[in-house]
Amino acid sequence: MIDGKCLCGEITYILKSELLYLYNCHCKECRAFSGSSMATNATISAADFEIYDDNDNLKTFMVAGGKRHFCGNCGSPIYSYPNGSEEFPSLHIGTISNPPEKVLDANSWISEKCPWVKISDSVTSYEKQIE
Ligand SMILES: [Zn+2]
Ligand SMILES: [Zn+2]
């Protein structure tokens, strides 16, 4: 069981299965949403993901790449639905309470990465989206 919460704690979640696929996304959209050089996202099963948001703080922002959900109170990115992936959202894993043992599966959108980010040869990398 994986659990997490946003920075202010208004939004919490549990995930009853493993992280399916872990990747760093360097696309402009993920960088802006995370406020960082890259976003580390994990594909998860929507069926095993439960969000608790008693005060309706979870906000949705629609972008070209899909739906992005964040805490409207503190701004933490929580999860996104890349287009066409309602069953498998991407969890923004900075909100996980105790990150589980897991090896990074891939880097995506390295064509848009920041100059100072070095990509390891041992990790599968995609110029654009994961194929
Ligand atoms: Zn919050
Ligand atoms: Zn991205």
For residue 11, give the ligand nearest its CA: 1
> For 113-130, what is each residue's pLDDT tens digit?
999 999 999 999 999 988
- Residue 34 has a pLDDT of 94
- Residue 24 has a pLDDT of 97
Above 80 in pLDDT, residue 84? no
Quote the ligand 2 centre to 39 CA distance (angstroms). Answer: 7
Q: What is the mean pLDDT of residues 69-97?
A: 92
- Residue 114 has a pLDDT of 98
Q: How far apart are CA 1 and CA 6, in angstroms?
A: 17
Is residue 81 very low, low, confident or very high in pLDDT (cuts 50, 70, 90)? Answer: confident
Kindly state the percentage of the chain with pLDDT values over 90: 90
Radius of gyration over alpha carbons of the chain, in Å? 14
Kindly state the percentage of the chain with pLDDT values over 70: 99
Structure token pair of residue 11: 């939004």
- Residue 73 has a pLDDT of 98
Q: Element (H or E) spanning 29, and its range?
A: helix 28-34
Q: What is the mean pLDDT of residues 10-24?
A: 97
Q: How far apart are CA 127 and CA 14, in angstroms?
A: 32
Q: Which domains does the chain have, with CATH numbers?
A: 2-122 (2.170.150.70)
- Residue 23 has a pLDDT of 97
Q: What is the mean pLDDT of residues 26-47?
A: 95
**Residue 44 near residue 109, CB atoms below 8 Å:** no
For residue 36, give the ligand nearest its CA: 2
Quote the ligand 1 centre to 78 CA distance (angstroms). Answer: 9
For residue 80, give the ligand nearest its CA: 2
Quote the ligand 2 centre to 29 CA distance (angstroms). Answer: 6
